[in-house]
Amino acid sequence: MNHLSRTIPILSTFIHSTSYDDACDRIQYWVNNNISCYVIAANVHVVMMAHWHKAYQKILNNSALVTPDGMPLVWAMQLFGVKKQTRVYGPDLMLAWCDRAAQLSIPIYLYGGKPKTLARLEHNLREQFPQLIIAGNHSPPFRPLTAKEEAEDIERIHSSGAKVVFVGLGCPKQEQWMARCKGKLQAVTIGVGAAFSFHSGEISQAPRWIMKLGFEWLYRFICEPRRLWRRYVINNPLFVILLTLQFLKIKLDSFSALETTKIISSSGEQ
């Protein structure tokens, strides 16, 4: 596991420099050491929601790992010095861990989504990873859970023997659930957002060439305009503006520090 991984603050949300192999190594380490923690795949929507809601931002910054799920965050990290950063996309991280879990016989659990989605998802995962141990799945009600229901869900997962729980409740619900379960649920939880819908075949993913260009948001917007218009039409331009201001502030602070150093050096020479 790479203990020297950097974290980059993007609008005050800390994103880790990582890769699929590094993320899976970390998850494996936490599983082997019975560490209760959670992993978040962050895109622009997540970062912007954290920018406006500090309690949510605290949840992100208290997580064990936040991956750059979207290309704009990858480009931002490269801009701030992590030149070789690549995307660590939630749906692909899910498949990468399923592959690792199948090899190591580490049981997983699927939490979230509709019953029909979970049935298709489980079928597809078993076809792709025949050795994968899927200890169970559960579709909680869409409404907020009572404390009793949440405790029952945690006990259900414990009883299954699962060591890693994929959570597909959507942002911010899944991150809030994972944060509440930290320390109560002896497993690693990973929020994967729309991965359940993608891997079940319920919703089509953008072609890979569109993802590489950073236009996945446009593809998803065309597919689901009514649900996603606010996220992309408002959040994306605001993210660019705020990120530009952050970059300019860093450059200005660096320039001021350099000028101060020059003045101090000149005074010393006199």
With respect to residue 269, please indicate whether it lies within any of the assigned structural domains.
no
Residue-wise pLDDT for 248-267, tens only, equals: 988 887 766 655 665 556 55
Q: What is the CB-side half-sphere exposure of residue 161 using CA atoms within 13 A?
A: 6
103 occurs within a structural domain: yes
Question: Is position 196 within any domain?
Answer: yes
Least confident span in 135-139, 173-177, 254-258: 254-258
Q: Residue type for 87, please?
A: R
pLDDT of 4 above 60 = no
For residue 139, which of 196, 205, 56 has the smallest C-alpha distance?
Answer: 196
Percent of the chain with pLDDT over 90: 74
Give the residue numbers spanning the domain of 38: 7-242
Any domain includes 87? yes
Give a yes or no: residue 260 inside a domain.
Answer: no
First-to-final CA distance of the chain: 50
Q: How many domains does the chain have?
A: 1
User: Shortest CA distance to 192 belongs to which of 177, 209, 206?
Assistant: 177
Among positive and negative, which fits the CA dihedral 216, 219, 222, 227? negative
- For the chain, count helices (H), then strands (E): 13, 8
| Global confidence as pTM | 0.87
Torsion from C-alpha of 156, 159, 165, 170, nearest 10 degrees:
0
Indicate whether 216 pLDDT > 60. Answer: yes
User: 266 in a domain, yes or no?
Assistant: no
67 occurs within a structural domain: yes
Among 7-16, 120-129, 148-157, 252-261, where is mean pLDDT lowest?
252-261
Q: What is the predicted pLDDT for the residue at 261? A: 60
Give every CB contact of residue 88 below 8 A, 6+ residues apart in sequence.
18, 19, 20, 23, 41, 67, 68, 69
Q: Examine residue 183 and state whether it is found in any structural domain, yes or no.
A: yes
